[in-house]
Copies of this chain bind each other. A is one copy, B any other.
């Protein structure tokens, strides 16, 4: 019990943490390649930042508490409210648009299960202050680049695109008053099954005909099929948004990875436009990423109106997916350039040689208490080093050192200044 981590959290031993660092470095590298700038915020925020703005489900899952001064505090369950708060606080002094990224640790008190933990990391990429739908294009291209940089093929994943605005317009056409109830039902549809889904729509006041029309529209696999359902100007304008972004992505060579998926709703309350989710091709796991446009969030936090669009990509499903595709690199080897061992028990010379090699930019370590030579070589094997330097060997003349390559087992004598 004393050695147990809290439920839904993870201990990262070095073999696990090296995998995390691999994921983080790919995330960071891709963001920087697209010109996104890094930011961070506090791990906890004032509770009010979430209670009005996030979705109901996420608010139910908050780790919330009072601090010693009685402030209502919550561990951040998502990054977007923090981002919107920071941008709103800058006001006009921050030239727009901005492209920002962060890799926050997030917290949700929910049932721990495959792909879902109570504490996880999430890459967030966002563009604030851009009206153009090419903000969406930039983010979708970044998702394609992320997946490619991890080694996935364009057919290994699928980005499904929908539009909150279109859904809203369709529900308006159908005369639905209680749209939030319908969104909640749609978001839970896959989990609860068709019967319960139909009942929820009926409870939301939808007639059997309205339900059938909605169902038919949601089942459309192409923009062409969907077009007849879009009667109002608003619905047609929303359809055009989908057409624009899908067309742009196809023109840029990503038609294979991006498509229409009207079943995507997104649980969060603040989305106002296009929404999207990324799944493995077989859709056998939870979404690996998801996001959309939130044009009203900054203004709701008391700032000026600043448009926003962004997505989050969690580390948990991503790691499962990388494992399934055999795409996790072997992170156990070549962590060190040299491991030093000693024939003559002179520890100070180990320290001195290590310092000299580090000054030349090498990664070097050595035992801190000397055992028998055979034991030292066992330690060397475990060290993950590329080569062992054997100090104090009488085979090596002054100024030289005996070297064993741990990758191929070859041995030789090398002048120290050539290391």
Contact between B335 and A134, CB atoms less than 8 A apart:
no
Interfacial chain B residues near A12, Cβ < 8 Å: 38-41
Contacts of A383 in B (CB 8 A): 35
Which residues on B sit within 8 Å (CB–CB) of A137? 351, 368
Which B residues touch A134, using CB under 8 A? 347, 351, 368-369
B residues in contact with A1, CB < 8 Å = 302
Contacts of A130 in B (CB 8 A): 368-369
Q: For the complex, what is the distance from the CA of A113 to the CA of B348, rounded to whole Å?
A: 42
Among A67, A97, A119, A251, find the residue whose CB has the most chain B CB atoms closer than 10 A.
Answer: A67
CB neighbours (8 Å) of A138 from chain B are: 351, 368
Contacts A100-B14, A365-B35; A252 near B352 (Cβ below 8 A): yes
**CB neighbours of A5 from chain B (8 A):** 41-42, 45, 85
Q: Is the CB of A351 within 8 A of B18?
A: no
As a 0/1 sequence over residues 42 to 72 of chain A, the CB contacts with chain B under 8 angstroms (1 = contact) are: 1111101100000000000001011110010
Contact code string A78-99 (vs B, CB < 8 Å = 1, else 0): 0000000110111000010101
Closest to A89 in B: B3
Taking residues whose C-beta sits less than 8 angstroms from the other chain, chain A's interface range is 35 or more
Query: Which A89-133 residues have C-beta < 8 A from chain B?
Result: 89-90, 95, 97, 99-100, 105, 107, 109, 119, 127, 130-132
Is A132 a contact partner of B368 (Cβ separation < 8 A)?
Answer: yes
Tell me if A301 counts as interface (CB < 8 A to partner B): yes
Contact of A32 among B6, B49, B335 (CB under 8 A): B335
Interface contact B39-A14, CB-CB below 8 Å: yes
Q: How far is the CA of A252 from the CA of B347 in the complex (A)?
A: 11
Shortest distance between the CB of A25 and any CB in chain B (Å): 10
- Is the pair A17, B46 in contact by a Cβ cutoff of 8 Å? no
A383–B301 CA distance with the chains assembled, in angstroms: 27
Q: Is the CB of B2 within 8 A of A302?
A: yes
A10 on the B face (CB < 8 A)? yes
Cβ contact within 8 Å between B302 and A34:
no
Q: Does A141 contact B (CB under 8 A)?
A: yes
Q: How far is the CA of A12 from the CA of B57 in the complex (A)?
A: 28
* A–B pairs, 21, beta carbons within 8 Å: A2-B49, A5-B41, A6-B46, A7-B71, A9-B44, A11-B40, A11-B41, A11-B89, A12-B38, A12-B40, A17-B38, A33-B358, A35-B364, A43-B75, A99-B365, A130-B368, A134-B347, A138-B368, A248-B351, A252-B351, A252-B352
* Top 9 A-B pairs, shortest CB-CB distance: A35-B365, A65-B65, A9-B42, A14-B37, A3-B89, A12-B40, A132-B369, A17-B38, A134-B368
